[in-house]
Amino acid sequence: MSVFEYMHKQGHEQVLIIQDKSAGLRGVIAIYDTTLGPAGGGTRRMVYNSFEEAIVDALNLSKAMAYKYAAAGVSCGGGKGVIIVNSPNEKSEELYRAYARFVDSLEGRFFTGMDVGTGIQELRWMIEETPYIFGLPETKKGAPEDWAPTSYGIMRGMEACIEEVYGVRSFQDIVVAIQGLGKVGMPLVRYLYERNVKKIFVSDVVEELVKYAVREFGCESVPPDKIYEVECDIFSPCALGGILNDETIPKLKCKIVAGGANNQLADEEKHDLLLYEKGILYAPDFVINAGQAVDDQDTAEPGGYNFQRAREKIDGIYDRIKQIIKISKEKKLPTQKCAYMYAEERIRKIRALKQVKLTKTRIPRW
């Protein structure tokens, strides 16, 4: 399938195939939709099996970012950058500065930040060539040192789910099972602990992380292959994607699934429906885990980052999860499907407003 065929199929606005031979750069920048504002999305540096695989990844990820921002109520479109390498160790200042010049050539249609293979050092190289970068810690003055926006947003989304299922927002009688104790899972443990959660079960393949959670927050450890079977109120996947599947869903003994992992449903349509039919309330992953994307995007606001404003935006995850639950109940449809409908409706409404404005301001031909 050609690039144009992929674009036509998914509805992308623009795809850039980029190269700088002297820097060893090969890559793709995909812009899905800019109806809501400039496209935002991280830059991924990976080894791909083929050029086609890299393009498909960029297209899929940029579309996912558009839905994430739309559902988050942020005035930002969806984009993604991909740098193709032959080895995970293939990175340099020249590589990233060459890539950043292509980002700069888009003149603000695309803002980018961290992703797999791209961290703070890489962003600092890139900002030498373009201002269209978000996520640098020095741009987030005023945020507490322990601020974890994704984890905070998940906690707020959990509150919406608890209120729907149990009629309360307090965690005092709630048992949570968290899979994965990395950059999202461990801060989530802390946020829940601070809110007097009744009990937290944790699992991770890294034993030291589990020991830390047990020691510092009184968690109870569970072997990774047993975490699905824990009797709890909330199962929170915060590790790998695709973990909700034909094998694991039947094992779940919870009323709510709400976690930070991306692409949790192995087959979106099939497993969204399976959870719905099982009576488990699923918090759509791209809605509940949008905290970091929202926080990073705030650095691009006029006047720069404002912690209070960013946190208020992330607090809105509570309301958005509630709205998606309402749509699900009214239409008798699974929540992930309703989340896409919710995001698409926002894009549609803003696109209609812009078309009206263009019609009113069009200069007539004489």
Task: Report the catalytic residues.
Answer: 80
Give dist(CA 52, CA 49) in Å, integer.
8
Read out DSSP for 344-364?
HHHHHHHHHHHHHHHHHHPPP
| Beta pairing partners, 83 | 27, 45
For residues 97 and 13, give the distance between their C-alpha atoms in angstroms, rounded to a whole number.
Answer: 25
Compute the distance between CA of residue 208 and CA of residue 149 in angstroms, rounded to an integer: 24
> What's the CA gap between 32 and 343, in Å, rounded?
14
Contact (Cβ atoms closer than 8 angstroms) between residue 46 and residue 84? yes
Q: Are 252 and 194 in contact (CB under 8 A)?
A: no
Q: Do strands 25-33 and 14-20 pair parallel, antiparallel, or not at all (unpaired)? A: antiparallel
Number of Cβ atoms within 10 Å of the Cβ of 341:
14
- The one-letter code for the residue type at 145 is E
> Exposed, middle or buried by CB within 10 Å (0-12, 13-18, 19+), for 350?
middle
Specify whether the CB–CB gap between 97 and 125 falls below 8 A.
yes
Strand 234-237: give its sheet, edge to edge: 220-221, 199-203, 175-179, 234-237, 256-257, 281-282
Give the angle 8-13-14 at the CA atoms, nearest 5°. 100
- Among 56, 48, 53, 57, smallest CA distance to 85 is for 48
| Residues found in the chain | 366
Specify the amino acid at residue 86. Answer: N
Report the C-alpha gap between 160 and 335 in whole angstroms: 13
